[in-house]
Amino acid sequence: MVIVGLNLLLGERALGSAQTTRQAAAWQQSTRGVTYAPPVTNSRPFKALRLRERAAEINTVVLGASSLMGVTEPMFATPLKPYNFALTANPTAMVAGEAEYIERHHGQQIRNYVIGLDWVIGVLYQPATAADVDLAPETLLAAYRDNEAHVAQKLTDAIALPKVKNLGDMLRAVMLAPQPAAAFRAAFFENAGEPYDCPGGVKGMQGRDYDVVHRGKCLGFRHDGSWTFANEQHLSEARARVLAQAAAAPSSQFARYLCSAQGAPNAAVLQRLGEFAQRVTRNGGHVTFIVPPLIPGMVAEMSKSPALAACLNRTHEALDAWARKHEVTVIDAAPSERYGCLAGEFLDENHAWPECHARVMKHYALIRERHGAGLYRP
């Protein structure tokens, strides 16, 4: 019963709330520190608040899925001042709606867009239509009250093995803390832990945890909207080779995503994005699209399969024709080795550390000035 009770307490907090989201956003605005508001799988309310708070001081926004979350502010040359609005598993149809919302509500300040076109997780092929998106924080925060789980669901969640394991880890950390009673109170009853100096690769920044997991690791969003990936490790070359080869197997999730529509992107969503880009350009702005980087060798391994190669070629041809029609550039960073990216600059198949993204973004700076429309590879 004690385990169930403690996990129910944690479960309520892990679901997130409007109050916690506002507190986390306000703390980051005042400190420029690292944080996020739970649940980690839905960061749109938190980022919508942060976007509105920062809109007057930025002129560039990054949109897409988590594969672009490693893009940071220092990668952009002056006078570009970005905010990274990329979200976990964000469908391309949703990205189109987000871009249009930002144009309507912040178009006077935000004139530059970097938009991800992510085929490797299938969002480029999903049949959804590009619906209007409301990023008003009040609308998104109001949805929290509609997400309350039933009692039976909460009980089932409380006794699930991952939750029991996490509880054990938290209790061990509490017992080892200098002040166990204070640590217990902070972990189970307070909305946030105390601010702390970030360890490891996030040194030099301050962190604060509003979630009940990954405490003390500085896992979260930086002030510029990029994600720290502080709980992840750099791949070894040997591991990257294994992952690249596994991705080419017909049964792999990446192979299934790539050929889910025989490699044909959602034409209606692309059309809407193309019209958006043309409108922004006419108004003096700039839009560039990026196919996010994959581990070195992954595209080459997938291309060895005739079936996967056919789907990939169809995707490339469709993107190139679409880009030329709408006079935009698509940076194809999927073969990341062509940009100089290394295996150790990835944490898995399709999430790069900032080192690789920085190599790709060097080309972005050149492309803005020199490259014509179409699919770009160095």
Asked if pLDDT for residue 14 goes beyond 70, the answer is: no
Residue 59, both tokens:
């002129």
Q: Which residues lie closer than 8 Å to 147 by C-beta, 6 or more apart?
A: 15
Which pLDDT band holds residue 326 (cuts at 50, 70, 90)?
Answer: very high
Per-residue pLDDT of 271-293, as tens digits, reads 999 999 999 999 999 999 999 99
Q: Where are the beta strands (DSSP E) in 51-155?
A: 60-63, 82-84, 112-116
Among 157, 98, 107, 159, which residue's Cα sits nearest to residue 133? 98
Q: What is the pLDDT of residue 153?
A: 45
- Chain centroid to Cα 126, Å, comes to 18
The DSSP secondary structure of 226-269, one letter per residue, reads -B--TT--PPPHHHHHHHHHHHTSTTSHHHHHHTTTTT---HHH
pLDDT number for residue 194: 86
Q: 371, 123, 158: which is closest to 269 by C-alpha? A: 123
Going from N- to C-terminal start, the domains of the chain cover 2-376
Structure tokens at 6: 């403690």
| Burial (CB count <10 Å: 0-12, 13-18, 19+), residue 352 | buried
Average pLDDT value for the chain: 87
pLDDT tens figures, 335-363? 999 999 999 999 999 999 999 999 999 99
